[in-house]
Amino acid sequence: MFVLVNLKAYPCDPVAVAKAAHDVAEESGVRIAIAPQAADIAAVADTGVETWAQHVSPNDYGSHTGSTLAERAAAAGAEGTLLNHSENRMKLADIDASVGAAERAGLETCVCANNPEQIGAVAALGPDSVAVEPPELIGGDVSVASADPDIVTDAVAAAEAVDDAVDVYCGAGISTGDDLTAADDLGASGVLLASGVAKADDPKAALEDLVAPLR
């Protein structure tokens, strides 16, 4: 199982969270990545933890003020990128262009979607992975794997019907080892979470609890 922690724009110390994630990944053998704000990618990558961008823009070099260029994210140390998060929605054509930009820069891609139907549509664009995240559960205390397990199994089936090489991650409300186990049982190959770690008083303890079933 892959654990991808999105720090969003939360007022946490990204380097401290990254160091905690690096230590837990080393101790447990679980693949854990951190997705900080673009300005913090280099500092987070310097900790040695796998680092992802929260977004890359659907453009190449040029007159694109305010964009997050995939090549610069990669140069700063990013190894992958989220796209189309519920809090940063994109048009389908722009998702396609951003997937292409990420691939051009050698970044792994995970495209988020609200439901199984959207999962099928974005899986057709050829990302490395997709993440199903019902918006109403994002930031809550109940995981999608518990609240509506059919969404996860249907998302897995939708992605497989299009391209069985695309991994499916489970997001929204993930915070405990039980949530991770439930996602695994439903066919997901990873989880995407944010507040459960970024807002935790002790991020390392939160991550240790999360990956405990995998030890």
Q: CA neighbours within 13 Å on the CB side: how many for 145?
A: 27
Per-residue pLDDT of 65-79, as tens digits, reads 999 999 999 999 999
pLDDT reading at 126 higher than 90: yes
pLDDT class of 215 with cuts at 50, 70, 90: confident
Closest to 86 in 3D by CA, of 138, 23, 13, 126:
138
Selected catalytic residue, list 85, 108, 117, 208? 85
Annotated catalytic residue 85: yes
Buried b (16+ CB within 10 A) or exposed e, 106-125: ebbbbbbbbbbebbbbbbeb
Q: DSSP code of 11?
A: S
pLDDT reading at 134 higher than 80: no
pLDDT reading at 140 higher than 60: no
Annotated catalytic residue 22: no
Q: DSSP code of 54?
A: S
Q: DSSP code of 7?
A: -
What CA–CA distance (Å, rounded) separates 174 from 5? Answer: 10
Selected catalytic residue, list 103, 133, 160, 208? 133
Per-residue pLDDT of 181-193, as tens digits, reads 988 998 999 999 9
Helices (H), the chain: 14-28, 41-45, 70-76, 92-104, 116-123, 144-147, 149-162, 177-185, 195-198, 203-211
Angle, helix 203-211 to helix 14-28, in steps of 10 degrees: 30
User: What is the token pair recorded at 198?
Assistant: 């970024």
β-strands 80-83, 108-113: how paired? parallel
> Which residue pairs, CB below 8 angstroms and at least 24 apart, start in 178-183?
178/213, 179/143, 179/145, 179/146, 179/210, 180/1, 180/3, 180/210, 180/211, 180/213, 180/214, 181/213, 182/143, 182/145, 182/146, 182/149, 183/1, 183/143, 183/145, 183/152
User: What is the token pair recorded at 157?
Assistant: 């089936």
pLDDT class of 214 with cuts at 50, 70, 90: confident
If one counts every other C-beta atom within 10 angstroms of the C-beta of residue 2, the result is 19
